[in-house]
């Protein structure tokens, strides 16, 4: 029974470990939202902003402070009294020590802000700041999502390219073997063998380069996801799935309403903050009203007797209301208000400009995408044509009816069309990602 339990435990652990190593595109996005460093920092900033709101609210709540103070006078303060009070000559003074060598004071002060225009505006601003942090987190997640899409697609395209090169290598390897056998019986020149050897070695070098490039883009994907760089990562989405998802022409005359675009909302939030800054500067000309209640106990002694029950304590209590009225600040408030007003005008222009900028980007991204779509479709046709030409030339060459030059030319044409196909595939996915980002639908 113990061995059976151990077997199931190991099997379960292995399954969990394997599941954690395999990611579809959507799972990669979700993993990045939970583990990407920049997303984590944005979430922390959002939490800090929420705490900042609570901190600002606390300014308007009752404030309770305690005070305690101990004094030891090396020299007791001296006061001069008119000597005539003690029968002395008028115009002369007698030095008299008032107080004792030691004193202690303890008390509490309760204060409450009753009215402050700056506090009211500051409270509104702190909430807007919290909204800024939330928007920044959303913007960060979108940027990470875009990066994941690009890196994930790059790995898939590289994998497909490696598979194609391997198929080409096998074909060339067989042709090379057959050509060598034909040369041995003296039916062809050795130049034909050399030509195929050249192609074979070129394919091997390209394979090695692509394998190293794959490790590079895979490492970039791991980094964006926040995935352990040293752990194995398996991608379960396929290139065909990504292409089919992004394979459609876009109508340039029918843009999606981008009012909800993250960049517009960020600018509108910045506009709100500028409005509050303007209100804050104007509120500084309003009076501030506060109240406080304080109660203190004072004790005096020539010896340290403050902890004894015989020590006398004298209470002082006060209720205070304070009104602060700004009267004249050397025009400082005026010019700060004017600066805030101008910043508000700039923020309004920023909102208008970002809307125009996003419309322009969406239009440009649509054209780029449609061009990428057409290039991809054309590259598919070129693959079919070049494959057909190469297969015919290879058959003719093997039968001694074609030249090595014709075979090399068709081979170069095939490899070039394959390279263009994979380049077109990645550009199609990238263009669609850029378009979705411009439209605010990513």
Work out the pLDDT band at 99, boundaries 50, 70, 90. Answer: confident
Using H for helix, E for strand and C for coil, what is the string for the chain? CHHHHHHHHHHHHHHHHHHHHEECHHHHHHHHHHHCHHHHHHHHHHHHHHHHHHHHHHHCCCEEEEEEEEEECCCCCEEEEEHHHHCCCCCCEEEEECCCCEEEEEEEEEEEEEECHHHHHHHHHHHHHHHHHHHHHHHHHHHHHHHHHHHHHHHHHHHHHHHHHHHHHHHHHHHHHHHHHHHHCCCCCHHHHHHHHHHHHHHHHHHHHHHHHHHHHHHHHHHHHCCCCCCCCEECCCHHHHHHHCCCCCCCCCCCCCCCCHHHHHHHHHHHHHHHHHHHHHHCCCCEEEEEEEEEEEEEECCCCCCCCCCCCEEEEEEEEEEECCCCCCCHHHHHHHHHHHHHHHHHHHHHHHHHHHHHHHHHHHHHHHHHHHHHHHHHHHHHHHHHHHHHHHHHHHCCCCCHHHHHHHHHHHHHHHHHHHHHHHHHHHHHHHHHHHHCCC
368 versus 393: which is more confidently predicted?
368
Measured CA distances, 186 to 177, 179, 192, 398 (Å) = 15, 11, 12, 14
Query: Which pLDDT belongs to residue 6?
Result: 53
Query: Which pLDDT belongs to residue 145?
Result: 92
List, for residues 296-332, the tens digit of each pLDDT value: 999 988 888 888 888 889 999 999 999 999 998 889 9
pTM value > 0.85:
no
List, for residues 230-247, the tens digit of each pLDDT value: 999 999 999 988 888 877
Cα distance between residue 82 and residue 94, in whole Å: 6
Query: Which pLDDT belongs to residue 401?
Result: 76
Least confident span in 171-180, 375-384, 423-432: 171-180
Query: Which pLDDT belongs to residue 176?
Result: 84
Place of tokens 């030095």: 95
Domains of the chain: 238-287+329-441 (1.20.1600.10)
List, for residues 49-77, the tens digit of each pLDDT value: 999 899 999 989 999 999 999 999 988 88
List, for residues 152-164, the tens digit of each pLDDT value: 999 999 999 999 8
Query: Which pLDDT belongs to residue 255?
Result: 57
């Amino acid at each position: 029974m113990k061995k059976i339990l151990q077997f199931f435990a190991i099997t379960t652990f292995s399954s969990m470990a394997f599941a954690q190593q395999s990611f579809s595109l959507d799972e990669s996005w979700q993993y990045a939202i939970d583990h990407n460093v920049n997303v984590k920092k944005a979430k922390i900033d959002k939490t800090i902003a929420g705490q900042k709101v609570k901190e600002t609210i606390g300014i308007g709540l009752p404030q309770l402070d305690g005070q305690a103070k101990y004094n030891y006078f090396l020299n007791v303060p001296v006061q001069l009294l008119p000597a005539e009070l003690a029968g002395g000559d008028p115009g002369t003074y007698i030095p008299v020590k008032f107080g004792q060598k030691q004193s202690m004071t303890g008390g509490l002060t309760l204060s409450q802000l009753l009215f402050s225009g700056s506090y009211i505006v500051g409270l509104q601003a702190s909430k807007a700041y919290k909204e800024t942090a939330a928007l920044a987190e959303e913007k960060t997640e979108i940027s990470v999502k875009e990066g994941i899409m690009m890196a994930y697609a790059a790995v898939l395209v590289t994998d497909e390219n490696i598979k194609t090169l391997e198929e080409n290598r096998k074909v060339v390897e067989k042709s090379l073997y057959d050509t060598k056998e034909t040369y041995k019986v003296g039916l062809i020149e050795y130049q034909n063998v050399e030509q195929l050897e050249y192609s074979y070695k070129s394919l091997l070098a390209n394979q090695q380069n692509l394998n190293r490039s794959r490790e590079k883009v895979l490492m970039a994907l791991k980094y964006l996801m926040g995935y352990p760089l040293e752990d194995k990562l398996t991608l379960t989405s396929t290139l065909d799935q990504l292409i089919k998802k992004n394979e459609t022409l876009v109508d340039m005359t029918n843009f999606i309403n981008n009012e909800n675009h993250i960049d517009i909302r960020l600018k509108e939030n910045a506009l709100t903050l500028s409005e509050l800054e303007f209100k804050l500067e104007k509120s500084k000309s309003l009076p501030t009203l506060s109240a406080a209640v304080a109660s203190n106990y004072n004790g005096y002694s020539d010896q340290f007797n403050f902890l004894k029950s015989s020590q006398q304590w004298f209470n002082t209590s006060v209720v205070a209301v304070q009104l602060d009225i700004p009267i004249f600040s050397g025009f400082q408030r005026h010019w700060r208000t004017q600066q805030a007003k101008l910043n508000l005008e700039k923020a309004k222009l920023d909102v208008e400009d970002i809307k125009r900028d996003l419309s322009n980007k969406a239009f440009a991204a649509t054209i780029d995408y449609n061009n990428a779509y057409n290039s991809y479709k054309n590259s598919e046709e070129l693959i079919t044509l070049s494959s057909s030409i190469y297969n015919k030339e290879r058959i003719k060459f093997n039968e001694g009816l074609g030249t090595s030059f014709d075979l090399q030319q068709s081979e170069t044409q095939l490899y070039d069309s394959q390279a263009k196909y994979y380049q077109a595939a990645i550009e199609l996915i990238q263009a669609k990602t850029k378009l979705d980002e411009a439209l605010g639908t990513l």
